[in-house]
Amino acid sequence: MIPVFFIITLLLVVWIHYQKRRTDRISSKSSEAFWERERQANLTRKKDISNLDFIHVPLNTLPFPETGSEEISDIQRHLINLSAGKIVNFTGRSNTDLKLQYGAPNINLLMEYDKNYLELVRSLYRYGKLLYEQGLADEAATVLNYALSIKTDISANYTLLATIYKEKNDTEGINSVISAAEELTSMTKKALLANLVAIRDSAVVQ
């Protein structure tokens, strides 16, 4: 009689082998699909990109206070320089996606526009944080709200703005931040929403 332990071990080995082959087949198909899509993207002809959803930095409405801080002055100059370039939010879209939609010959320009966007939202958060640390909460809120309007996915931008509203006992303001966060598609969205709700709840308790 064959020992039960031997049969179980044999079945386990067979099952592991089957799962490995199945995983390899799926991985192979996914890889083939990716490279075929990339091949098609590289063959896509150049298309008109003059009507992209360009972001224009509102220098006339963003606050530019004199603070005496060289760090703040540097970032103000940087924002002015960024405003002169072309900025587009391509968050969540791969280079392959962009080439398929707008043509492979445009990819370098599109990457530049996307890079400018990433630099803009990082600079806006840093600027808002510096203003807040200088005691300029209203100015910081203006900057951080603008970042929300252009769909920044920097979680700290949302939590800092919610904190400013909490300090003002403005639960409606916090709710507006939560609403903006709900539109995000980032992997950190769930944790961010939990943090924002906690900030709102603590404001209500106070």
C-alpha 178/C-alpha 155 separation (Å) is: 11
User: Is 80 exceeded by the pLDDT of residue 38?
Assistant: no
Structure tokens that stand for 96 in this block: 């392959």
Rg, the chain, Cα only: 25
Report the alpha-carbon distance of residue 101 to residue 103 in Å, rounded: 6
d(C-alpha 29, C-alpha 21), whole Å: 12
Could you give the residue ranges of the DSSP H alpha helices within 44-85? 70-83
CA atoms within 13 A on the CB side of 103: 8
- 123 contacts 139 by C-beta, under 8 angstroms: no
pLDDT for the residue 125 = 98
| Contact indicator for 165, 177 with CB cutoff of 8 Å | yes
Whether residue 5 has pLDDT greater than 70:
no
Residue 52: pLDDT over 60: yes
* Domain ranges for the chain: 29-151, 153-206
- Does residue 18 surpass a pLDDT of 70? no
